[in-house]
Amino acid sequence: MRQQLQHRLQQLKTEFESGQKVLTKLEAKQVNIQNTLLRIQGAIQVLEEELAKSAEGDPFVSTDGLDVTTIDAANGATPQEVGVTN
pTM of the model: 0.55
Residue 81: CB partners within 8 Å, gap ≥ 6? Answer: 72
Give the Cα separation of 28 and 30 in Å (integer): 5
Q: What is the domain partition of the chain in residue ranges?
A: 2-82
pLDDT tens digits for 16-48? 999 999 999 999 999 999 999 999 999 999 999
Give the Cα separation of 25 and 22 in Å (integer): 5
pLDDT of residue 62: 55
Reply yes or no on whether the pLDDT at 15 is more than 60: yes
